Amino acid sequence: MAALIEIDGLTKRFGTRVAVDHVSFRVGQGEVLGFLGPNGAGKTTTMRMIAGFVTPTAGTARICGYDVQQDAIAARRMLGFLPEGAPLYPEMTVIGFLRFIAAIRGYSGAEAAARVDNAIHLTALDEVAYQTVEILSKGFRRRVGLAQALLHDPQVLVLDEPTDGLDPNQKHEVRTLIARMAPSKAIIISTHILEEVDAVCSRAIIIASGRIVADATPQELARQHPSGKLEEVFRAMTAPQAKAA
């Protein structure tokens, strides 16, 4: 299995606070990795470093072999990134925003139009394509953010809370889409929704106080608690006494 995401010793300090502490892992093609942790554990900072939006204090992140700091443009061509609270241009229409993203990605003419149409179809945005972003619900805005991440059909997807704000039907649609794309990509999903890990992830990493405390399949993790429930394992591994051990 080819490693499309390679993380080695990734560390981030903010003054004296260590937000991410020597995190290392690989994600291969066909894997969907659930990246779990309580608030403040370092999930979002790690995702931003992988995407090249935050410079690490130490360590490296590579996307399809490209260092995200040294070969930033090449790495980002291979990456689709949905950040937390994805920033959008509220005055643009959905289709106008996606056309703008296509142009930034270097597409034009018929190819740009085809990619925009496909992204709209994949994320079920047809009914709001000509509405401005500012009047959309939180769930629709989240889907616009996902559409821009998928537009160039990248080999790697890094998705921070991809179903945040979606209703149950929309969550099901996004999870089905992720499962359909998974065989040809490496995908990281940061989430606090443990049912999402069971639904779409082939592997899960738990991070607490900036460090990895578990890395296994969801089923293997669940077996580590008498209840057989992933949520109980998560609670035990991220409790203050566990983090201090």
pLDDT (tens digit per residue) in 44-60: 999 999 999 999 999 99
Query: Higher pLDDT residue, 228 or 69?
Result: 69
Side chain identity, residue 144 = V
105, 48: one domain: no
- We report the CATH number of the domain holding residue 72 as 3.40.50.300
Domain, as residue range, for 138 = 87-153
> What local confidence, expressed as pLDDT, does residue 123 receive?
93
Task: State the total domains in the chain.
Answer: 2
96, 211: one domain: no
Give the predicted TM-score (pTM) of the model: 0.91
220, 187: one domain: yes
196, 93: one domain: no
60, 171: one domain: yes
Whether 113 and 120 have beta carbons less than 8 Å apart is answered as: no
Point out the domain boundary residue: 103, 132, 153.
153
Question: How confident is residue 80, by pLDDT bands cut at 50, 70 and 90?
Answer: very high
| Nearest residue to 198 via CA among 231, 227, 238 | 231
149, 68: one domain: no
Q: Say whether pLDDT at 74 is over 50.
A: yes
35, 124: one domain: no
Q: Say whether pLDDT at 68 is over 50.
A: yes
> What local confidence, expressed as pLDDT, does residue 245 receive?
41
pLDDT (tens digit per residue) in 102-143: 999 999 999 999 999 999 999 999 999 999 999 998 889 999
Whether 157 and 181 have beta carbons less than 8 Å apart is answered as: yes
56, 92: one domain: no
13, 68: one domain: yes
97, 146: one domain: yes
Point out the domain boundary residue: 104, 135, 153.
153
pLDDT (tens digit per residue) in 11-53: 999 999 999 999 999 999 999 999 998 888 899 999 999 999 9
223, 123: one domain: no
Point out the domain boundary residue: 126, 153, 180.
153
Q: Give the start-end residues of each E strand in the chain.
A: 3-14, 17-28, 32-36, 58-63, 66-67, 79-82, 156-160, 186-190, 203-208, 211-216
pLDDT (tens digit per residue) in 189-230: 998 788 888 889 999 999 999 999 999 999 998 888 788 788
Q: Say whether pLDDT at 78 is over 80.
A: yes
